[in-house]
Amino acid sequence: HKLLPRLAAHCPFRSIDCSAMAAMDVDPIPALEAQKKAHPDLAAKVDELQQFFSQKLYHQLTQALFVYLASPPLVAPSAAAELADLFDNFIKPLENKLDKVKFVQLLAIITKSQPADKALELIMAFEASAAKLRESNYMFQALKAEKQIGAGQLDSAKELLDTLSKEIADAYEVDALIQSQLHKTNALLWKALGRPQDFFKSSILYLSYTPLTSIPVEERPHLAFEIGVSALIAPEEFEFGELIQQELLESLQGSEHEWLKDLLQAFSEGQFSLYDAACSSHKAKIDATPELKSNLDTVLRPKMAALALLELAFRKPKKQRRLTFAEIVEHCRVGAKEMEFLVMKAMCGKLIRGQIDEVEQLVIITWCKPRILDMTRIDLMRERMDAWAGQSDLLLKHLEEMTPELLVA
């Protein structure tokens, strides 16, 4: 009898979670049969799920689940209750068999169409389990913050995301999938807080970690529109070249938001002629977008003037960046009294560096912010390289002509 406590201490069944045992006792097959009955056209996919489950091929089962859950009948908002039943009766019993990161991804899919407070309640049951692995814990915390944002718990979400962002920044070799989820959730927070500058920056980071194919096709035009509008109305945002090159913006083509591309292109090139044409052609659309209409004169036009100044400086050869006050007034479409304020604002925004010569009525620019090189600017650079090569050739010929005189001397 003295051996019993020792045997009990080493008993392999001692550490088994009773809830996990209860979950494994659930037979998932009826849930699959119910899916087949509800969606006869998806019968082949359901049979595949059943086959992988029967053969205990859990990796293949996980991949098949992602494909199945992306089917149109299950993506619809009306499928929320059905997804909850599928989760409770099929996916949840398999929690200990599936990869932890993938399980959190499945949680995100299942709760996407659920009310935020209900979704938050559902996922919290799996927080301790997800915390056992670094990657799954990161994914879970980002998902938790997303649901908190949806439930209006913005302070809690911000505190959680601040902590999570620091942990991920200090961590080593964090997967792109986790980075994508973090920046996506950060973008949701800044959108809820009404901070377009931060929303834009987080969205650009999200796109840099996220393959376009992983963003649902039907969501792309609206996401591109939101990011584009945030770039326009953020007073200190001037990175339009990077935005224009995003593959996501192609989704605007043929959508109700297609007109926005013209406005973004005008800001990217710093051309007032394109800006005027876009404002004239799409006035009704702009007026129907409250964020743009309310910021048209206070944010958009001053930003356009600053970008026009940057473009004017960029197009000048480096040693000829001496702009007259009159030239700036005409090109940037500002009054004489507003010109100096524009230049100082451009300097404060780190678009240009230089000095203002009040006596000579000149702005001497020593540096301008690098521009994204599109085909037009590449042609400009080629012309400068050709001019430089021509000057170098003339110098070489001059030195060759002087060489005999130098030798004689």
Residues 305-342: pLDDT tens digits?
999 999 999 888 777 889 999 999 999 999 988 999 99
Instruction: Quote the CA–CA distance of 210 and 187 in Å, as a whole number.
Output: 14
Share of the chain above pLDDT 70, in %: 90
**Structure confidence at residue 102 as a pLDDT band (50, 70, 90):** very high
State residue 20's pLDDT score: 42
Instruction: Quote the CA–CA distance of 164 and 167 in Å, as a whole number.
Output: 5
Instruction: Quote the CA–CA distance of 101 and 170 in Å, as a whole number.
Output: 20
Instruction: Quote the CA–CA distance of 12 and 5 in Å, as a whole number.
Output: 14
**Structure confidence at residue 23 as a pLDDT band (50, 70, 90):** very low
Residue type, 409: A
Instruction: Give the tens place of pLDDT for each residue, 130-178.
Output: 999 999 999 999 999 999 999 999 999 999 999 999 999 999 999 999 9
- CB contact set of 271 (below 8 Å; sequence gap of 6+): 308, 311
Q: In the predicted model, what is the mean pLDDT of the chain?
A: 88
State residue 8's pLDDT score: 45
